[in-house]
Structure 1
Amino acid sequence: MTVAAGDLLHLTRDASVQFSRPITVRVIRGRTDWHTYDGWVWIDAYQLDAAGDAVRRRTLYLMPSGARRLTPQPRQHRPPSSPPRHRRPRDRPWSGRRGADGGGRGRGGVDVGSPAARGSDAARLVGWQS
């Protein structure tokens, strides 16, 4: 059996000992540039869950003669789990400033934690500059 892109395969221990727990994959491509033993191949594939959705991309080493080819079932369109959320545009862009109780710089660009902002005499004596 040859493996081609788009094939849906059920892999068990017959394909390789690594598949002690069977998995279903959709083949992306066969890795013909990687040399292997006769009768073995490397493939890139998506591992599928019970619903047929890809859950993981894998590179696998297997014997195609042990893989079972499945016929793809037509997919039913499923509605999204929740309606899409639309963001409301902001009234003004985020300025990044925080108020006096949030720390950082307050009005006028003065560091609200500085002695100059508190109006202390120490600021005048030290020559505090923000």
Structure 2
Amino acid sequence: MTGRREDGTPTVKPGVYLLSRAASPQFHAPILVRVIRELTDRHPPHGWTWIDCYQLDRHGDAIEKRQLFVMPAGMRQVNVPPVPYAARRPPARSTR
């Protein structure tokens, strides 16, 4: 997140972010997203915004496109290096 609006609220820039309860109460389990853009045509309450993003899996691949209502001040930008397909391991399966 870089930059601020004239009223002092932060703006959301494209990138990868970790969203937890600090970004919104809806994230009781944190998720990783790749932000495409901030949806500036909507008029949320002060300190909140809408983002257009892709939710990412544990490898950093997009699994779902979403529009989310978040507090930019609670979003944590992260660096997610790509994981080559050859280095990926399937999740452990239950032996039940």
Q: CA deviation at 1:2?
A: 2.5
**Pairing 1:27–2:35 present:** yes
Give the TM-score, by structure 1 length: 0.56
CA RMSD of aligned residues (A): 1.2
Partner of 1:65, secondary structure, is: helix
* Structure 2 counterpart of 1:2, one-letter code: T
Q: Which has the higher strand share?
A: 2
Tell me, in whole angstroms, the C-alpha distance in 2 between the residues paired with 1:31 and 1:65. Answer: 16
- What whole-Å deviation, never above 9, does each CA across 1:51-105 have from its counterpart, x for those lacking one? 11100000000001111110231x24425xxxxxxxxxxxxxxxxxxxxxxxxxx
Tell me, in whole angstroms, the C-alpha distance in 2 between the residues paired with 1:11 and 1:42. Answer: 13
Q: In structure 2, do the counterparts of structure 1 residues 53 and 32 end up closer, same or farther at CA, with 3 Å as the change threshold?
A: same
Tell me, in whole angstroms, the C-alpha distance in 2 between the residues paired with 1:49 and 1:26. Answer: 11
Greater relative contact order (CA < 8 Å, ≥ 6 in sequence): 2
Q: What residue is the counterpart of 2:57 in the other structure?
A: 49
Q: What residue is the counterpart of 1:123 in the other structure?
A: none
Q: What residue is the counterpart of 2:76 in the other structure?
A: 68
Give the TM-score, by structure 2 length: 0.74
Question: Aligned pair count?
Answer: 77
Query: Structure 2: any 5+ residue segments left out of the alignment?
Result: 1-9, 87-96
**Pairing 1:3–2:12 present:** yes
Q: Which has the higher helix share?
A: 1
